[in-house]
Amino acid sequence: MKDHLQEGSQPAPSSPHVSVIQEIQRRQRIVFWCLIVCIVAMGVLLAAERHRERKRIEALADQMPIDAPTAVEETVTLELASDADGTLRPETRQIALPQATNARVKALLDHLLAYYALPDSAHALPPGPAVAEVFLLPLPVVGYVASPLPPGAHSGTDSGADPASVRTTAPVSSSDPNALQPRQPGGELAVIDLLSSWVNQHPSGVEVESLTLRSILGTLHANLPQIEQVRFLVDGQTRETLAGHADLLRTYPTAHDNAMQTGGNDPGPAKE
């Protein structure tokens, strides 16, 4: 064995024994390189497949693109809050908005809230995504809620189904007679689902929280007047307050006249 190695490593004189070994080595080398080529080719094929598949899945997952390919820049009005004097002032911007209304609402709010995260913001809010999703419901909202069967109705347990699934629907009435009714035909309720990652970092205070909501409501009203009422969710669930103060259980009207301190029916003393 030692001798073979010695001979193999040096160009040996043409002994038939050695040439057979070389022949074997040559064949093995061919097979080896063929396999390498195969591996590389399959690797490339796999990478291409993976890439295509990933694209397909991304397209599936993202059915509401923030910026539709057809989005064009348009003029929008942002109602920007200022902590210094507790007011909102309108400011126009050119931004690209998608076509679908709920995607428009989300894009508008993303733009508005990203503005507040800038370093010199007059109403400093945490950076990062704030709005998970926006749902729009035509007003008046009519709904039914699942409710357990009344006790009398239990007598006929004909179906034999498990009791938890035996439910009827009961109409849900609004707690506010004015809520959930349109002011104009075609009025809509926007349900804005906020992200807890953003809400949990929102500064706490009556005014700072109220300004955030007023800025959102005012901006929606200025650009999408058909949105008449807004409700908020956090991670898809109801939450009592934004950061300890502002009521998130309420249905908010977007129009100023019955929402915010525009005087009118306010007999209280004015700001000092």
| DSSP run (H or E) holding 109 | helix 101-116
207 contacts other proteins (rule: CB under 8 A): yes
**Rounded least distance, CB 93 to other proteins, Å:** 27
Among 140, 148, 163, 186, binds other proteins (CB under 8 A): 140
**Rounded least distance, CB 31 to other proteins, Å:** 7
Q: Map the footprint of other proteins across residues 221-260, applying CB under 8 A.
A: 233, 235-238, 240-241, 244-252, 258-260
10 contacts other proteins (rule: CB under 8 A): no
65 contacts other proteins (rule: CB under 8 A): no
**Rounded least distance, CB 186 to other proteins, Å:** 17
**Rounded least distance, CB 158 to other proteins, Å:** 27
141 contacts other proteins (rule: CB under 8 A): yes
DSSP letters, 141-200, are P--EEEEEPPGGGGS---S---GGG-EEEEEPPPSSTTTT--SSTT-EEEEEEE-HHHHT
**Rounded least distance, CB 216 to other proteins, Å:** 13
Among 12, 93, 193, 255, binds other proteins (CB under 8 A): 193
73 contacts other proteins (rule: CB under 8 A): no
Among 20, 30, 37, 42, binds other proteins (CB under 8 A): 42
What is residue 267's three-state secondary structure?
Answer: coil
What is the C-alpha to C-alpha distance for residues 83 and 64, in angstroms, rounded to an integer? 34
Q: Map the footprint of other proteins across residues 162-181, applying CB under 8 A.
A: 170-176, 178-181
Amino acid present at 155 = S
54 contacts other proteins (rule: CB under 8 A): yes
Cβ-proximal residues to 183 (8 Å cutoff; 6+ apart), any chain: 228, 255
Q: Map the footprint of other proteins across residues 11-30, applying CB under 8 A.
A: 28
Burial of 218 (0-12, 13-18, 19+ CB in 10 A): buried
Of 108, 74, 147, 55, nearest to 230 by C-alpha is 108
